[in-house]
Amino acid sequence: MGRELVLLLLKKGARVAAVDINSDTLQETLSLSGDKNKLVSAHVLDITDQAAVAALPDQVIAAHGVVDGVINNAGIIQPFVRINDLEYEAINRVLNINLYGLIYMTKAFLPHLLKRPEAHIINISSMGGFLPVPGQTIYGASKAAVKLFTEGLNSELLDSNVRVTVVFPGAIETNITVNSGVAIPGSAGDAESSGMSALPADKAAEIIVDGIEKDSYRILVGSDAKLMDFISRLSPERAAKFIYKQMKSLLPA
């Protein structure tokens, strides 16, 4: 989804600083940018490295002159196991990437965004950030934290020039399972698409960018995210039981 966001923004004429911990996939994105490659800079970075993230804004500004927006898209899932069986190493890795990395990026770029006439911060949460998924409890906790962090930041910046948007993707065709190093029992697909019809990543990118252009407070990506958002508001327990029935087969016996 991050790659599709880069390509769509380039298509719309934006300059883009693409950030990834994986240099190979970053280079693939640059290759796909075609004749727009002069508008994109590549930055290999571990967002859990606070010092490295703190140095990133100067690198981006050196490449592009200014920075007007940040999309915090990086995220991983956890192994599909119950909390009782989840190792602390996996817990820390999910929280460090999904939450602390996002906070580091926000803190690093916010002072620069506040100097711009208009700017935007977009944080990618998840349908799992408002709906409990068995076997993804730490992942869900991290994305729920992203939700409230983003909403709180929005309130803090209401009288500023910086707009803030939280995004809730449903099932999206991405490589999150591979990037997370997680195997899905009995499935070759993406974890967030298991048991559900997944939305192509390029369509998800279009929905997100459209929401950014409209300064949306929140963006629900996919019919499943919209449906489960409605059901979870109407009856949280019913929604939780529905998802449990859909996903319980992924849990070890």
Per DSSP, the residues of 56-119 read HHHHHHHHHS---EEEE----PPPS--GGG--HHHHHHHHIIIIIHHHHHHHHHHHHHTTSSSE
What phi and psi, each to the nearest 5 degrees, are found at residue 72?
Answer: -90, 95
Contact by Cβ (8 Å): 8, 18:
no
CB-neighbour burial class of residue 189 (10 A; exposed 0-12, middle 13-18, buried 19+): middle
Catalytic, 139? Answer yes
Contact by Cβ (8 Å): 137, 87:
no
What phi and psi, each to the nearest 5 degrees, are found at residue 64?
Answer: -125, -5
| Options 100, 104, 139, 244, the catalytic residue | 139
Amino acid identity of residue 5, one-letter, is L
Supply the residues annotated as catalytic: 139
